[in-house]
Amino acid sequence: MAPTHTPARSDTGKRAGLDRDDIVDAALALVEANGPGALTMRKLAAELDVTTTTIYWHIGGRDELVGAVIRRLSEHLAERAIEGDTAADRVVHAALCIWDSALTNRHVTALAHREGASSLLALPMEITLLRELEVAGLHGVAARDAHQAILLCVAGFLVIALRPERAVPLGYRSEALWAEVAPHGITDATLRAQREPAELASLLPITLRAIVDAALRTVQETP
Amino acid sequence: MAPTHTPARSDTGKRAGLDRDDIVDAALALVEANGPGALTMRKLAAELDVTTTTIYWHIGGRDELVGAVIRRLSEHLAERAIEGDTAADRVVHAALCIWDSALTNRHVTALAHREGASSLLALPMEITLLRELEVAGLHGVAARDAHQAILLCVAGFLVIALRPERAVPLGYRSEALWAEVAPHGITDATLRAQREPAELASLLPITLRAIVDAALRTVQETP
DNA sequence: ACCTGAACACCGTTCAAGT
DNA sequence: ACCTGAACACCGTTCAAGT
């Protein structure tokens, strides 16, 4: 709402006195307030009281703008301390930090995810995760593979957790589809469970546990 | 290319003689040929030599069209037989069938994924997977949770595997980002590995193994 | 150096009107 | 019942022109 650029710069003579940083700030605020769909060159220009061409002059195009927005948030992302007694505990906790951060900043995360730039947002946290994997005894390709598996698992859970309310119409979501089907060879208890959404927040740590334990087991066997 | 509606129907008198099925067929062909971005009301109308309004009359809107396209492919998806000696083997294989099918039909899968309707495409295969989980001894909430964890893991891997070539500019992809960074506390071997992409096709079965084994272990302990 | 105005080539969707 | 034409409200991007 309030302009973030210093009032002292308002007397530069030129009409708007806009900074590249001001634009990125406004874009970030726009996404955080109204979701990734609101990040439009025209909406952003209107918010800043300039023409869209001004944005192009400062930034250079929508892709660059999106990248700058994600970087901006990434810089301001709080580094959380990793907790846990065992090595496996600490690895899982580092992964859950990425999950928590994604949920806290759901709109920008959704933007980054949609644009294929998730790593741009989470890189510092990914480094922390990789470090914990090395402490746990994994190195080289083994460390990278465990790292990738964990990240992709978190990404998969985020696909559902960050899915916008509207999404497809009616009920193309899993629970609705399973309510319309009566397959043979599946018990009623399971079918009933399938018709309500899983609790991702409790399912994720369990799943990560399984992946981490399996990865660390390989290092135990080859000492 | 060639019209799929029977020539016998061409003498209905009305101008185009278009069927709802013809439209869905053309839309599916459009996506499979040129990717999800090519599914546009206007492009589709041009392909069928009609106005966009004709599409609206037969289908009712873009969301319904997308749903119909996904359903169409889903019907024509080959049911593959599940292989494997042990219960865990068969569960993993059922999950890998979903992965393989997604890669084979990458464009429509990307469309379904982007629209939040992945389950609409994979439902028959998901049922097969759930059945194998029951054979393995899981029921009710436990079966659903294992099912969900497996599907979300596959979904996470697909996010990377189906990422369009263009995506974000320059290098916002993981490998490029890790090439620009030199974090402390991480060995050179690991850093070097991080700078080239992981082999998802071999990493996925290993990861699924870990999840499935952990899930089946809980049923072993409580007989 | 910084910004505007007008234009181009796209979108999805609707509405009155034709046969 | 089936289809057209014109219009509305959006997009990203570019280019000549102003100060």
CB environment A40-58: b (16+ within 10 A), e (fewer):
ebebbbebbebeeebbeeb
**What distance in Å separates residue A136's CA from the closest CA in chain B?**
12
Check CB contact under 8 Å for A190 and B159. no
> Residue A10: what pLDDT?
36
pLDDT digits (tens, 9 = 90+) for B72-117: 999 999 889 999 999 999 999 999 999 999 999 999 999 999 988 9
pLDDT digits (tens, 9 = 90+) for A184-193: 889 999 999 9
Q: Is the Cβ–Cβ distance between A41 and A62 less than 8 Å?
A: yes
A32 CA vs D12 C1’ separation (Å): 22
Check CB contact under 8 Å for B159 and A154. no
CB environment A134-151: b (16+ within 10 A), e (fewer):
bebbbbbbbbbbbbbbbb
CB < 8 Å to B145, chain A: 198, 203, 206
By C1' distance from the Cα of A50, the closest nucleotide is C3
> Residue B219: what pLDDT?
79
- At B206, give phi and psi (nearest 5°): -65, -45
Question: What is the C-alpha to C-alpha distance for residues A216 and B60, in angstroms, rounded to an integer?
Answer: 53
Average pLDDT over residues A73-81: 92
CB within 8 Å of A15: residues ≥ 6 apart: none
Looking at residue A36, the DSSP 8-state letter turns out to be: G
Average pLDDT over residues A197-222: 92
Average pLDDT over residues B201-215: 98
B54 CA vs D6 C1’ separation (Å): 15
Band (pLDDT 50/70/90 cuts) for residue A79 is confident
Band (pLDDT 50/70/90 cuts) for residue A3 is very low
Angle formed at CA B175 by CA B172 and CA B179, multiple of 5 degrees: 95
Comparing B155 with B221, the larger pLDDT belongs to B155
Average pLDDT over residues A53-82: 95
Task: Specify the range with the lowest mean pLDDT, choosing from A33-47, A116-130, A166-180.
Answer: A166-180
H helix runs in chain B, sequence order: 20-34, 41-48, 52-58, 62-75, 87-104, 106-114, 118-135, 140-161, 174-179, 188-194, 200-221
Average pLDDT over residues A168-172: 69
For residue A192, the one-letter residue type is R
> Residue A174: what pLDDT?
87
Band (pLDDT 50/70/90 cuts) for residue A168 is low
CB environment B191-213: b (16+ within 10 A), e (fewer):
bebbbeebebeebbebbbbbbbe
Name which of B144, B168, B186 is nearest A115 (Cβ-Cβ). B168
> Residue A164: what pLDDT?
77
Task: Specify the range with the lowest mean pLDDT, choosing from B35-49, B57-71, B132-146, B169-183.
Answer: B169-183
B179-186: which pairs have CB atoms within 8 A and are 24 or more residues apart?
A: B181/A123, B181/A127, B183/A127, B183/A131, B185/A131, B185/A134, B186/A127, B186/A130, B186/A131, B186/A134
Check CB contact under 8 Å for A152 and B147. no
Q: Which residue has the tokens 């899915």?
A: A163
**pTM exceeding the 0.85 threshold for the entire prediction:** yes
pLDDT digits (tens, 9 = 90+) for A122-149: 999 999 999 999 999 999 999 999 999 9
Band (pLDDT 50/70/90 cuts) for residue A213 is very high
Structure tokens at B147: 């099912």
